[in-house]
Chains A and B, each alone.
Chain A
Amino acid sequence: MKAFVTAVAVVGFSAVLTYVGLVTFDQSTAQRYEDGSVVLLDHPTSWEVD
């Protein structure tokens, strides 16, 4: 019983920590690679084809 309750607390605490960490360092993939170092779309857009 004590082990179970401790585990609930640890999992809950870790989830909160992870959430705060992710929100703090959140960055969209498009922002991260806006310098063009990674090509996210390896094909032309529809109006570039025109």
Chain B
Amino acid sequence: MSDSAGGVRGRDFTGYRIAGAIAALIFLFLLAWQVVLLFAADSTVRPEVAIRAAGDSPGMHSGMIAAETLAARTRLLDERFRTGPSPEAEVPALAEGRANLDSESMTDGSAYTRAWSVPTEDEAAMMHQPDRIEGISSLPYSNAALFERPFGRDWRIGMSDIITHMGALAILGMAFLLSAVLALRGRVPIRQGKSGRRVHRFGFVERGTHWMTALSFLGLSFTGIAIAYGETLFVPLGERAMGTLGWWSTWGHVLFAPTFFLGLIVMAVMWTAKNLPSKLDIQWIAKGGGFFSDSGDHPPARKFNAGQKMVFWSAILGGLIMVATGVTLMFPYYWLDLAGMSWAMLIHAAIAVLLIAVFLAHIYIGSVGMHGAIDAMWSGKVDRNWAEEHHSLWLREVDPKKERTP
């Protein structure tokens, strides 16, 4: 549709609808894939090889001598790693390699881990120490013998299962919904077409702050998605790709944070007064913002309508929670202990996926979703007819004498 034709439908709008339909199909496929993953079995670690000292009868898997021998060898390796080769030094007898160890594949290794990974009530009560389940390990890192902390397990389920899957559903679901709206509804047109006369809506500082926050948010979102979903998205591209993208994402995620925080503060100072709730908002929400039909009244709005107010408060409140939790994770143990940081990470991840879903909608309606909307933040000037339809009360405030231009 040409801007000056005055119509609300045309070839351009049809093109957008076709693109929306294609995108909707793609997102529907991804959503279905995500649902399959949601119900797939969890990955677990289970023993595959049994090691025992020669002399144990084949049916016995006590393996105590084997465990002692492995621990002695590991300790020796650890010492040698730190001190360098020491051919003159005495080698502990057990680590010397004289004790022969046999190994064989285990038919059902999960029987050994089931007791503590999926304990019965009695087993759990028996093993349950204050907040951890410990065993014996010869692995050369210090917490290898700590099999599980109940809180750590709950945290892992919260991160890996609930937030990761629900986040993917929220983001892909929102993307599908928006694509479907574009396919079925098309772009929200300027009903009267563009008038060719523009009115000033956002100043340079307002637009600059918006874009600074938006670019930071995009940077944080992409790097955050790489951190949270990298294994699914990048491992198929190769381990090198995952390593490189993971490294850049971990750094990049921190680098975008200062401008994001600065943007939030400046936006809060500039726009909070105009985003306080009012009675007009109820009317606007009741009419769905006038988005779902080309006929009927557009609900009146001042500078910001109820939808924009919701986006504003999502950005400010959600963003401040993200900054607060994010900063505590940037500086481990400065303010919070392990439990506190675990909570911070859970909250950070949960709010993050919700914010990404909300801002997908904001990006959509500010660009392809609505004809003429992008001008407000790009040039700062909007068409008078657009302003009349979406912000009629604001238009009268800033330009009281002029009536709508046909």
Contact = CB atoms under 8 A, between A and B. Distances in A.
A1, A7, A17, A44, most chain B CB atoms within 10 A: A7
Contacts of B258: 14, 17-18
Interface size range of chain B in the complex = 35 or more
Nearest to B144: A46
A48 to B, nearest CB: 9
B146 A2 contact: no
A19 B251 contact: yes
Given A46-B139, A46-B144, A8 B215 contact: yes
A9 to B, nearest CB: 10
B326 interface: no
Q: Is the interface of A mostly helix, strand, loop or mixed?
A: helix
A3 B71 contact: no
A49 B259 contact: no
Interface string A1-36: 111101110110011011100100000010011000
Interface residues of A, number: 29
A3 B380 contact: yes
A46 B138 CA distance: 7
A2 B333 CA distance: 42
Given A43-B143, A43-B146, A7 B136 contact: no
A7 B215 contact: yes
B145 A33 contact: no
A45 B174 CA distance: 47
B254 A22 contact: yes
B136 to A, nearest CB: 7
B81 to A, nearest CB: 14
Contacts of A17: 258
B255 A15 contact: yes
Contacts of A3: 204, 207-208, 210-211, 377, 380
Contacts of A43: 132, 134, 143, 146
A47 B378 contact: no
A10, A22, A49, most chain B CB atoms within 10 A: A10
Contacts of A46: 71, 136-139, 142, 144-145
Interface in B84-120: none
Interface string B343-378: 000000000000000000000000000000000011
B6 interface: no
A17 B208 CA distance: 19
Given A15-B219, A45-B145, A49-B134, 6 more contacts: A3-B204, A7-B215, A8-B215, A15-B255, A18-B258, A41-B143
14 contacts: A3-B207, A3-B208, A7-B212, A8-B215, A14-B255, A14-B258, A15-B259, A29-B333, A41-B143, A43-B132, A43-B143, A46-B137, A46-B145, A49-B136
What 8 A-B pairs come out closest when comparing CB atoms?
A7-B211, A3-B207, A45-B142, A15-B255, A7-B212, A46-B145, A3-B208, A14-B259
